[in-house]
Amino acid sequence: MVSLNTPTAAPPGAPAGAAPAGRRPALRRDGRYAGLFLAPSLAGLALFTLFPTVMALGISLFDWPVFGERTFLGIDNYTHLLNDPVFRRVVLNTALFVVLYVPLNVVVSLGLAVWLGPKIRGRQAFRVLFFIPVMTPMVANVMVWRLLFQPGGLIDTGMQSWFGVDAPNFLGSSSWAMPAIVAMSIWQGFGYNFLVFSAALDQVPQSQLESAQIDGAGPLQRFRYVTWPMITPSIFFATTMTLITSFQVFAQPFILTQGGPGVSTQTIVMYVYNQGWQFLTMGLASAAGWVLFVIIMGITAIQFVGQKRWVHYDV
Amino acid sequence: MYRTPARARRWAIATLSALALTAVAACGGNDGSGSGDGSGSADKADLTWSFWVGGTEDQAAWQKVADQATTDNPGITVKLQGTDWNNYWAKIGTLLASGKAPCIIGMQSLRLASYANAMLPLDELMQKYGLKTEEFDKPIMEGLKADGKQIAIPYDSGPMVIFYNKDLFEAAGVAEPKPGWTMDEFKAAAKKLTGAGRTGLVTTPGDLGVAAWVRTQTGAEPLADGKLALTDQKFVEGFEGYADFVRTDKFAPQVPSGSTDFETTQFVSGKSAMQLNGPWSLIDTKGKAKFQVGVAPIPAGPDGSKTYTAGSGFGISRSCKSPDAAFKAIMSMTGEKPLTTLAAAGRAYPARTAAHDAWFAAAKIDGAKETLDYASENSIPLVTSKNWVQVADLLNRFGTQALNGEIPPDQALKTIQDQAGAGS
């Protein structure tokens, strides 16, 4: 360790590569204190996040029943997953959910945020109203939607009395079940992004919009060339977070359809839950968890690289 | 802090890998020497009992059952640890695996095979303390065995029977079903009851229901010699007949996926005239329904009425430090007195024959005793495989598609067999 009072050894006009010796120890000391302050959360991160992640990687190399003998398999769990038609379908389902849900969520929440611009009366009340589904427990939301969707439910009886035809069996038909889950999820989840976008829109300086208007820009042009660039950081944040959470979708299909009919609404996290906690095969569950982890990591990395092209932080 | 970031990272990774490997190695040796529950002697012990409960009222009722153990054995106390049904099975799995499970474990007959390895066989204790097995319903006593060893002592049981809406039967001019009624009579009644927004039957592909409908039609069982045998010709035929209720006969509504309470809501709201259910739900259903509820045995196929029994009981974890005390507690908890109290409150159809009368008195349904005795005689326990939870899950998923006519029934069974057959 270098003491603080070490005399300056470097002569004046030393090469630029050698940092001034008086400055370095101070930096090091800062680093030490920073490390000290970070230690508790680093320890927590290591214990509760990194360790389980690495542990799961270890478990995924074993046939690991909750009871009974464990045997080392190497990558067999992964090859099993890749060759399992059910797991492949499960990955596709998750991708389908993401592809349907993320854009729709952003469009709905951004659309409503723009619509509820500063000039609307009672916008605070609307904001609260739109945020209510986010605050109510998911299980309660799903129960209500199930009563809407199921045969003899609200939509079905409504269609029968008005049009005299049966509604589709939303939760029992392989082609309707996923759209039904996406619809429910958007209703449940758009309020959060709506708040993020509302806050971002409020930050757009009125003066710039006005000068654009004086220059002859219409409402669409003002949105495209003034508002949009300024809210791109928020849109980036919202899409990244929504993408990550929608890859992890679990509660909606779990309660609404149990992943059925067949495996048409089973998602990766549901697969992990079932393998681990219902069928007690931890090895396969951990392997599937790692597959999801790698997918999310990859896509988030791509997003971060891609943001340079369209996100503007310099406003 | 003096290291470059890259070096620090390398160190962190190395440390974590070492930690993980140690953990893997440590967990690898499953010697079962965890710190189990209930240290003490045969006469004096504080025990914990893990069980599924529905809410605070439920918790209070079951704690009274636990207190019976202390009344009978002053040195023994039993503390109830309640969890809701779904979380219970996730929790009990980890507890049993870690060797830190409570002494007394609630166990359901359909799930028994998955957990039997971590449970103590009770046969020696039964002999030592003179438990009279003949006082219990035979099918459920059998149903709580794994590999011929008694794993749990039952508190409730019951054969799958038909619940029906007496008012709808009367309005449609259909004769009420009696023990011995046939599949043809059942189908004729169901068709007659269908119409005007109502259906004769409601069914979802739950394991007990499917197995019972298949067995009464063709006699086939889901397991043969402990191996899953869903693609056997007889089973396929029975399952096709069952799927036809929804698929072609259309006297039962299309099935939503994963809706466990669809059958009950549909029946209780008067939209469907019949459902197949266990007596454990009868008093609750009767309380919710705004019509007269009747019970009848499952209709008879070519070889008579055949159904399955399921039920639940209490067993002892292998890690329990004082199995003798735990067994004495279980004997008290499944004794005549607590089971009669539970029966009178309408909570469970008791596994003890002596407590049946209290339950029938509480149910107040004409012909219930005749029906249940008849069904019990014609029932066998649904013995399951180790991976039954997976089988039941797959049956629900692909059964829904088969019933709704999205895939052929034999293809549904083949998919289930391919997915789960190897692990049975």
Q: Output the domain CATH number for residue A225.
A: 1.10.3720.10
> Across the interface, do A174 and B20 touch by the CB < 8 Å criterion?
no
Report d(CA B223, CA B243) in Å as an integer.
20
CA distance B400 to chain A (A): 6
> Across the interface, do A171 and B258 touch by the CB < 8 Å criterion?
yes
pLDDT, position A315: 54
pLDDT, position A124: 84
A280 domain-assigned: yes
> Across the interface, do A67 and B94 touch by the CB < 8 Å criterion?
no
Q: Which range has the worst mean pLDDT, A91-100, A274-283, B101-110?
A: A274-283
Return the bridge partners of A65, or none: A281
Helices (H), B269-408: 282-288, 323-333, 336-344, 356-363, 368-377, 388-403
pLDDT, position A16: 43
> Which of A173, A265, A275, A290 to mutate to test binding with chain B, by most B CBs within 10 Å of its CB?
A173
Residues of B in contact with A156 (CB under 8 A): none
A13 domain-assigned: no
CA distance B368 to chain A (A): 30
Query: Mind listing the pLDDT tens digit for each residue in B325-361?
Result: 999 999 999 999 999 998 988 888 999 999 999 999 9
Choose the CATH number for B45-158+311-363 among 3.40.190.10, 3.90.1150.10, 2.40.160.40, 3.40.50.1220.
3.40.190.10
> Low-confidence residues of chain B, pLDDT below 50?
1-5, 13, 15-34
> Which of A48, A84, A169 to mutate to test binding with chain B, by most B CBs within 10 Å of its CB?
A169
pLDDT, position A179: 95
Instruction: State the maximum Cα–Cα separation within chain B, in Å, rounded to a whole number.
Output: 90
Average pLDDT over all residues of chain A: 86
> Across the interface, do A278 and B19 touch by the CB < 8 Å criterion?
no
CB pairs under 8 A between A and B: 133
Residues of A in contact with B411 (CB under 8 A): none
**Residue B371 neighbours by CB under 8 Å, 6+ apart:** B161, B179, B295, B296, B297
Write the residue in B27, B401, B419 that is nearest to A86 by C-beta.
B419
> Across the interface, do A261 and B404 touch by the CB < 8 Å criterion?
yes
pLDDT, position B8: 52
pLDDT, position B374: 94
Rounded mean pLDDT, A223-242: 93
Say yes or no to pLDDT of A10 above 50: no
A194 domain-assigned: yes
> Across the interface, do A261 and B401 touch by the CB < 8 Å criterion?
yes
pLDDT, position B300: 96
Rounded mean pLDDT, A248-267: 91
For residues A184 and A141, is the Cβ–Cβ distance under 8 A? Answer: yes
- Residue B225 corresponds to which amino acid? D
Say yes or no to pLDDT of A115 above 80: yes
Q: B245 — alpha (psi -120 to 50), left (phi > 0) or beta? A: alpha
B186 touches chain A (CB under 8 A): no
In terms of Cα–Cα distance, which of A87, A83, A53, A58 is closest to A70? A58
Write the residue in B23, B93, B269 that is nearest to A55 by C-beta.
B23
> Across the interface, do A258 and B89 touch by the CB < 8 Å criterion?
no
Q: Is B146 exposed, middle or buried (0-12, 13-18, 19+ CB in 10 A)?
A: buried
> Which of A87, A280, A281 to mutate to test binding with chain B, by most B CBs within 10 Å of its CB?
A280
- Could you tell me the CA-to-CA distances from B235 to B101, B221, B223, B250, B414 in Å, in that order? 38, 7, 10, 21, 11
Q: Are strands B312-316 and B152-156 parallel, antiparallel or unpaired?
A: antiparallel
User: How many domains would you assign to chain A?
Assistant: 1
Q: DSSP assignment of A19-33, as one string? A: --TTHHHHHHHHHHH
Question: DSSP letter at A159?
Answer: H
Choose the CATH number for B161-308+387-423 among 3.30.930.10, 3.30.300.30, 3.40.190.10, 3.40.50.720.
3.40.190.10
CA distance B89 to chain A (A): 8
pLDDT, position B295: 96
CA distance A24 to chain B (A): 11
Residues of B in contact with A277 (CB under 8 A): 89-90, 93
Cis ω for the linkage preceding B297 (within 30 of 0): no
Q: B49 — alpha (psi -120 to 50), left (phi > 0) or beta? A: beta
Say yes or no to pLDDT of A25 above 70: no
A196 domain-assigned: yes
Question: DSSP letter at A150?
Answer: S
- Report for A90-104, A132-146, A154-168, A277-291: range of highest mean pLDDT: A90-104
Write the residue in A66, A257, A278 that is nearest to B393 by C-beta.
A278
Chain A residue with the nearest C-alpha to that of B23: A55
Residues of A in contact with B254 (CB under 8 A): 151, 169, 172
> Across the interface, do B90 and A277 touch by the CB < 8 Å criterion?
yes
The ipTM of this complex is 0.70
> Across the interface, do B390 and A278 touch by the CB < 8 Å criterion?
yes
For residues A133 and A141, is the Cβ–Cβ distance under 8 A? Answer: yes
* Residue count of chain B: 424
- Residue B224 corresponds to which amino acid? A
Helices (H), B144-289: 166-172, 183-193, 207-218, 233-247, 262-268, 282-288
A131 domain-assigned: yes
pLDDT, position B10: 53
> Across the interface, do B400 and A280 touch by the CB < 8 Å criterion?
no
Say yes or no to pLDDT of A299 above 90: yes
pLDDT, position B2: 42
Write the residue in B1, B24, B271 that is nearest to A35 by C-beta.
B1
CA distance A69 to chain B (A): 8
User: Which of A139 and A10 is assigned the larger pLDDT?
Assistant: A139
Q: Output the pTM of the full model.
A: 0.80
Residues of B in contact with A280 (CB under 8 A): 93, 114, 389
Q: Integer distance in angstroms from the first to the last C-alpha of chain A? A: 44
Segment 267-306 of chain B within 8 Å of chain A by CB = 269, 271
B118 touches chain A (CB under 8 A): yes
- Residue B326 corresponds to which amino acid? A
CA distance A260 to chain B (A): 5
> Across the interface, do A256 and B21 touch by the CB < 8 Å criterion?
no
What are the residue ranges spanned by the domains of chain B?
45-158+311-363, 161-308+387-423
